């Protein structure tokens, strides 16, 4: 397999020149991923003079290297949210992620972005007895909150998916797309709207509302930081708020009609399983199999690992569950670092120490990133937007105290936090536990 993101082979990249001057604007947005692009687009639509800085090219980070799943699920299922926050707040969060899906779809259609956008139902499948219990819990959560779904037993699942799983939950209203093509399409819309975009312009320091790059700087009335993998030398306070989870993707040769029918007997779906480090798959528009996953060891590794061994093990596990695709060859693979927070919810808020500085961080899912980017833009322009500070605020309580991160290191600290968040366990406060969330995954 070649080490190359599949989406890169399908797009023509013509980056804008880097920043080579000192300039000013109303708002400077740092980061050209989904969050930064949507923040800049919303700000421009409200008449702001916007400069966007991107260290490589728009979509060149994890947004443009992702699987292109457009679903409210990211790292947390609806059941997880319900256990952790209670049904009312779980529904609030689910609706926000759903609005993120709709925002991306609306934007793609409004600006005629050719990004292989198509409706694709979701299928959450169980592995073993524990997986069957999680599928049952997810179905119950959807039933309790009035969300439509179809529940499959292991036997019934064979009619819609050719894998060996212990059950599944399916729902619609979800989409898939080529994420890099989408980012480049939004970039084109920003240029048309008069946004100044400087690519190959890594921000090396932030001083108040001034963003500094190697060859120039931007001073603004407001600064919106949508950076991934923020370095301590750039922003020490923000760097403590997020870490990354490492995942891998691979894309196959085009499947034959027989292979597609063996995998999806009725119609294609986007699928992920109940493993803690879950695997996921869907078809691309040209009928290639896109398969993702990772391993418990490499998920929180502090550096990006480029060896194909991890994705090869994911492929092998997939082929054991779907023996009809045993002979499928995979052509390309690539790693990606997905930013996450301690509790797996995004951070989208103003800096409590500087009301002119805003952050979007830890959006584990393209819909979350799109919604949070627009949400922060509305905070900047004082437009109506929900008060999400208790969920996405700067000072919300993390699960593991700061002292532990200093003792055991950031990777281990975040691994503990994320495991507790996924299991819906109580937060830590000093030596005692307190109830998790505002409703009490």
Per-residue pLDDT tens over the stretch 400-425: 666 666 556 777 777 777 777 766 55
Q: How many percent of the chain have pLDDT more than 90? A: 81
How far is residue 318's CA from residue 312's CA, in Å, rounded to a whole number?
10
Q: Are 223 and 206 in contact (CB under 8 A)?
A: yes
For residue 407, the model assigns a pLDDT of 57
- Domain range for 45: 16-118+173-241+343-396
Q: Are 175 and 109 in contact (CB under 8 A)?
A: no
For residue 45, the model assigns a pLDDT of 97
DSSP for residue 275? S
pLDDT tops 60 at residue 438: no
Closest CA to 248 of 274, 269, 277: 277
For residue 423, the model assigns a pLDDT of 65
Q: Looking at the domain assignment, is residue 253 inside a domain?
A: no
Beta-bridge partners for 28: 51, 223
For residue 402, the model assigns a pLDDT of 60
What does the block give as tokens for 109? 């259609």
For residue 437, the model assigns a pLDDT of 28
Average pLDDT of span 67-96: 94
Identify the band that residue 435 occupies on the pLDDT scale cut at 50, 70 and 90: very low
Q: Are 301 and 196 in contact (CB under 8 A)?
A: no
Q: Looking at the domain assignment, is residue 265 inside a domain?
A: no
Number of domains present in the structure of the chain:
1
Q: Looking at the domain assignment, is residue 287 inside a domain?
A: no
How far is residue 188's CA from residue 148's CA, in Å, rounded to a whole number?
36
In DSSP notation, 311-380 reads HHHHHHHHHHH-GGGTT--EEEEEEEEEEEETTSS-EEEEETTEEEEEEEE---SHHHHHHHHHHHHHHH
Neighbours of 277 (CB within 10 A): 17
Closest CA to 274 of 173, 136, 148: 136
| Torsion-angle region of 47 (φ positive above 0: left; ψ -120 to 50: alpha; else: beta) | left
* Secondary structure E strands in 10-49: 22-30
Closest CA to 9 of 284, 248, 202, 200: 284
Identify the band that residue 270 occupies on the pLDDT scale cut at 50, 70 and 90: very high
Nearest 5 degrees, angle CA 254-CA 179-CA 394?
Answer: 145
Q: How many percent of the chain have pLDDT more than 70? A: 93
How far is residue 32's CA from residue 34's CA, in Å, rounded to a whole number?
7
How far is residue 28's CA from residue 222's CA, in Å, rounded to a whole number?
7
Q: Where are the alpha helices (DSSP H) in 46-176?
A: 78-85, 87-110, 128-145, 154-157
For residue 408, the model assigns a pLDDT of 62
Q: Looking at the domain assignment, is residue 218 inside a domain?
A: yes
How far is residue 315's CA from residue 326's CA, in Å, rounded to a whole number?
10
* Secondary structure E strands in 146-279: 150-153, 167-171, 175-176, 196-198, 205-207, 210-213, 216-225, 242-254, 270-273
Q: Looking at the domain assignment, is residue 200 inside a domain?
A: yes
Q: Are 53 and 209 in contact (CB under 8 A)?
A: no
Q: Are 81 and 93 in contact (CB under 8 A)?
A: yes
Average pLDDT of span 114-119: 97
How far is residue 63's CA from residue 399's CA, in Å, rounded to a whole number?
27
Per-residue pLDDT tens over the stretch 339-391: 999 889 999 999 999 999 999 999 999 999 999 999 999 999 999 999 999 99
How far is residue 55's CA from residue 148's CA, in Å, rounded to a whole number?
42
For residue 233, the model assigns a pLDDT of 93
Average pLDDT of span 48-71: 97
Identify the band that residue 12 occupies on the pLDDT scale cut at 50, 70 and 90: confident
Q: Looking at the domain assignment, is residue 437 inside a domain?
A: no
For residue 403, the model assigns a pLDDT of 62
For residue 413, the model assigns a pLDDT of 74
Number of H helices and number of E strands within the chain? 13, 22
Q: Looking at the domain assignment, is residue 11 inside a domain?
A: no
**Which has the minimum average pLDDT: 71-80, 137-146, 428-437?**
428-437
For residue 431, the model assigns a pLDDT of 29
pLDDT tops 60 at residue 428: no
What does the block give as tokens for 285? 């528009």
| Stretch (H or E) spanning 70 | strand 69-70
Per-residue pLDDT tens over the stretch 174-221: 999 999 999 999 999 999 999 999 999 999 999 999 999 999 999 999
Per-residue pLDDT tens over the stretch 20-44: 999 999 999 999 999 999 999 999 9
Per-residue pLDDT tens over the stretch 298-347: 888 888 899 999 999 999 999 999 999 999 999 999 999 999 998 899 99
Neighbouring residues of 84: CB distance < 8 A, sequence distance ≥ 6: 76, 90, 421, 424, 436, 437, 439, 440, 441
3-state SS assignment for residue 218? strand
Q: Looking at the domain assignment, is residue 185 inside a domain?
A: yes
How far is residue 168's CA from residue 162's CA, in Å, rounded to a whole number?
12
The torsion angles phi and psi of 110, rounded to 5 degrees, stand at -60, -40
How many residues appear in the chain? 441
Identify the band that residue 433 occupies on the pLDDT scale cut at 50, 70 and 90: very low
Q: Where are the alpha helices (DSSP H) in 146-256?
A: 154-157, 179-192, 236-239
CATH number, domain containing residue 196: 3.50.50.60
Closest CA to 50 of 379, 377, 382, 384: 377
């Amino acid at each position: 397999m070649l080490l190359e993101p599949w989406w890169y082979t399908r797009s023509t990249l013509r980056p804008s020149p880097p920043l080579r001057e000192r300039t000013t604007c109303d708002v400077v947005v740092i980061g050209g991923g989904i969050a930064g692009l949507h923040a800049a687009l919303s700000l421009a639509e409200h008449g702001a003079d916007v400069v966007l800085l991107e260290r490589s090219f728009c979509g060149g980070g994890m947004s443009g290297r992702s699987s292109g799943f457009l679903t409210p699920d990211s790292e947390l299922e609806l059941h997880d949210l319900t256990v952790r926050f209670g049904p009312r707040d779980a529904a609030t969060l689910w609706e926000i992620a759903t609005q993120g899906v709709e925002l991306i779809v609306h934007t793609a259609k409004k600006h005629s972005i050719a990004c292989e956008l198509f409706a694709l139902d979701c299928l959450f499948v169980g592995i073993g007895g524990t997986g069957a219990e999680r599928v049952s819990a997810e179905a119950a959560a959807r039933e309790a909150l009035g969300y439509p779904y179809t529940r499959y037993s292991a036997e019934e699942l064979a009619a819609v998916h050719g894998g060996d799983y212990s059950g599944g939950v399916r729902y619609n209203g979800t989409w898939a797309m080529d994420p890099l093509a989408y980012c480049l399409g939004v970039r084109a819309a920003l240029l048309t709207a008069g946004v100044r975009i400087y690519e190959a312009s890594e921000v090396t320091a932030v001083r108040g509302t001034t963003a500094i790059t190697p060859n120039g700087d931007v001073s603004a009335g407001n600064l919106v930081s949508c950076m991934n993998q923020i370095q301590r030398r750039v922003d020490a306070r923000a760097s403590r708020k997020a870490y990354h989870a490492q995942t891998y993707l691979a894309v196959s040769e085009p499947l034959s009609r027989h292979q597609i029918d063996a995998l999806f007997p009725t119609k294609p779906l986007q699928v992920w399983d109940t493993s803690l480090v879950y695997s996921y798959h869907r078809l691309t528009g040209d009928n290639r199999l896109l398969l993702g996953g990772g391993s418990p060891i490499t998920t929180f590794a502090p550096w990006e690992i480029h060896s194909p061994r991890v994705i090869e093990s994911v492929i092998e596990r997939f082929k054991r569950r779907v023996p009809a695709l045993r002979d499928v060859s995979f052509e390309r693979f690539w790693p990606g670092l997905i930013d996450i927070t301690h509790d797996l919810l995004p951070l989208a808020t103003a800096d409590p120490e500087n009301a002119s500085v805003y952050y979007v961080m830890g959006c584990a899912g393209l819909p979350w990133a799109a919604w949070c980017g627009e949400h922060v833009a509305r905070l900047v322009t004082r437009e109506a937007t929900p008060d999400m500070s208790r969920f996405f605020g700067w000072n919300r309580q993390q699960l593991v105290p700061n002292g532990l991160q200093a003792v055991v290191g950031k990777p281990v600290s975040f691994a503990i936090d994320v495991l507790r968040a996924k299991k819906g366990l109580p937060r830590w406060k000093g030596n005692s536990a307190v109830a998790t969330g505002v409703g009490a995954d």
